[in-house]
Amino acid sequence: MSRIAVAMSGGVDSSVVAALLQQQGHEVIGITMQLFEPCSSGPGTPAHDGAQVAAQLGIPHHLLRLEPQFRDLIIDNFIDQYRQGQTPNPCILCNRLIKFGLLLEQARELGAELLATGHYVRRTVGPDGLCHLRTAANQAKDQSYFLYSLSQQQLRQVIFPLGEIASKDEVRSLATGFGLAVATKGDSQEVCFIPNDDYAAFLEQQGIKASPGNIVHIGGQVLGRHSGTHRYTIGQRKGLGIGWSEPLYVLEIDSSRNLIVVGEQQHLLKAGLIGADISWIIPPPATSFNTTCKIRYRHQPVPCRVELLADDQCRVLFDEAQRSVTPGQFVVFYQDDQVLGGGRIQAACTAEQP
C-alpha cells in the first residue's frame, strides 16, 4: 500500500477520496490549502471542514498557507487579463501552478508517493508508459478541460479516485456511508476567490476603475455608453441598455480604446481561432491534424483542424463556425475521450483571416 496525500478542500468529493483510499488500506495524509484570507475560520471553510473530516478519519492533517503565491500567480494575473479586455479562466492556471505545482511539492515533502484529488477525470497509462488524461465516467461533472496543461511528470504523481464513479449521487451516498460530516454540503462556487460570483464588484475592489465609454455597432455607429469594459463579456446580450432593430451582442472588448463593439447574432460566429501557450499531454500526431476541441468548459467538443505554428501557437479551423470565441478562455483538444492538450485563446478568426 502507498502513502498518499489528499488535497482536502473540505468538500464532499475530496473527503470521499480520503475515505476511499483509507478503506483500501493506504496511509492517507490530508492537506488543505489556504489560498486567500477567509471571511471566517468556522464551519463551512476549507480549513475547518478539511480538518474536521481528517479528524473523523483519524488521519494527519496539514494546512498549507499559500496566500502570497496565490495572489501573485492567480489573482493578479486574473485582474491583469481583465484590464486587457480578456475573459480569463483562473481555475486552469490554479490547477497547473498551485494544486499540481506547489501542493504536489508539499505532498512530496511529507513523504507521499502520490497526490489524490477529487477531480472528476480519469488517468490511464499506455503501453508506451505515457500517462493519458481521459474524461470522467460522470460526463456531467467531467473536469478534464481544466487539467489539459498537466505535464507527464505531474500526471505520473497524481491519481483521481472519482474518475470512474458514474454520478454525484453515488459520491454523496458514499459520504453518508462513511459518516462524513460534509455529506450534505453543497458544491463550491465557480471561482473560489470571488464573493457571490460578482466579478465586477471584485475587480473594482481590486483597483479596476469603472470607466464609462462608447458602445459601438460593428458598422461604426455609436449606440450608447457602457459602464466599464470589465463588466462585459463576449456574447453578452442582456444589460447593454441600447435599442436596435434586432438583438445585439457583445462582439469585442477593446480595452485600449475603452470600447464595447456590438453586432447582430451572425457576427458572433467565428471560423476559427489562434491559440497561444499551447502544451500537449502527449505529442501531437502531426503538424496539421483533425480532432475535436472545446472552447469553454460547458462547450460540447466540435470537429476542427489544428495547424501548429511557431512559438507554441496554433491555428484552429472549425468544421462549422462557432459562437462566442472568447480571448482569454482556453481551447482544449480531444480525441474521443482523451485530452491531447490545449492553450489560451489569443484571438478569434473569421473565414477571411489567414
Active-site positions read: 94, 192
Q: What kind and span of H or E run contains 13? A: helix 12-23
For the chain, how many helices (H) and strands (E)? Answer: 9, 17
CB 333 within 8 A of CB 292: yes
Q: How far apart are the C-alpha atoms of 21 and 115, rounded to whole Å?
A: 11
Q: Any known ligand binding at 187?
A: no
Q: Is 8 annotated as a binding residue?
A: yes
239 annotated as ligand-binding = no
> Annotation-wise, does 10 bind a ligand?
yes
Complete edge-to-edge strand list for the sheet that includes strand 213-217: 222-226, 213-217, 259-263, 249-254
- List residues bridging with 327 in a β-sheet: 329
Residue 233, all three cell numbers? 463579456
CB of 261 closer than 8 Å to CB of 223:
no
Flag whether 13 is marked binding. Answer: yes
Instruction: Check residue 260 and give left, alpha or beta (phi > 0: left; psi -120 to 50: alpha).
Output: beta
14 in a known ligand binding site: yes
Does 11 show up as a binding residue in the annotation?
yes
Do the annotations mark residue 33 as ligand-binding? yes
The C-alpha cell that represents 121 in the structure block: 477525470
Cα 121 from Cα 344, distance rounded (Å): 21
**Residues in binding site:** 7-14, 33, 118
**Residues in binding site for ATP:** 7-14, 33, 118
